Amino acid sequence: MIGDRLKKLRGKMSQEDAAKKIGISRARLSHYETGRSEPDSEILGRLAKFYNVTTDYLITGKTSIDNAELSDKDEKDIAKRMEEFRKDLTKQDGLSFNGEPMSKEAIESLAEAMEYAFRQTQRINKKYIPKKYRDKD
């Protein structure tokens, strides 16, 4: 849903600030975020430009990188990297962020973000490595 993606992209910025920068009213942005209305193509373009994403991402939630398929070998490699990353996180005594100890939820959130990064990196590498240099599965 477009509204969910808009809320996520806005992050901690207020609706008022985001709406001003996009050039729409706060109420209108709120309607888009709650799904009460859908932006027209002109507003969709402004939203995409402001949030530095494609209109395709706003509509479908997918990027062109998301369309690259990962093989079973890729999935195993990602799982192995994630296992090592999680071990490293749990080994750390007093793991902190901005001087504050990280909660279990924060550590899990970090792990999820890293898994996303591993997957995107794998997709990007698949996309740009010439076929003759790719490992055969």
φ/ψ of 99, rounded to 5, equals 80, 0
Clarify whether residues 74 and 112 are in a common domain: yes
Q: Looking at residue 70, what is its pLDDT?
A: 74
Clarify whether residues 19 and 55 are in a common domain: yes
Rounded CA separation 15/29 (Å):
7
Question: CATH code at 39?
Answer: 1.10.260.40
Clarify whether residues 6 and 39 are in a common domain: yes
Instruction: Give the model confidence (pLDDT) of 49-104 as tens digits.
Output: 998 888 888 888 876 555 567 778 888 888 899 888 888 877 767 677 788 888 88
Q: Looking at residue 38, what is its pLDDT?
A: 93
Question: Contact 25/19 with Cβ under 8 angstroms?
Answer: yes
With CA atoms as reference, report the closest residue to 30 among 20, 40, 19: 19
Question: Contact 116/66 with Cβ under 8 angstroms?
Answer: no
Rounded CA separation 116/119 (Å):
5
Clarify whether residues 70 and 127 are in a common domain: yes
Rounded CA separation 109/86 (Å):
11
Choice between 126 and 136, residue whose per-residue pLDDT is larger: 126
Clarify whether residues 44 and 31 are in a common domain: yes
Clarify whether residues 26 and 77 are in a common domain: no
Mean pLDDT of 18-38: 95
What predicted TM-score, i.e. pTM, was given to this entire model?
A: 0.49
- Residue partners of 137: CB distance under 8 A and separation at least 6: 71, 72, 73
Q: What's the total number of domains in the chain?
A: 2
List the domain range (segments joined by +) for residue 44.
Answer: 2-60
Mean pLDDT of 11-16: 93
Clarify whether residues 74 and 117 are in a common domain: yes
Clarify whether residues 126 and 70 are in a common domain: yes
Out of 60, 78, 104, a domain closes at 60
For residue 104 the two structure tokens come to: 């279990």
Clarify whether residues 69 and 35 are in a common domain: no
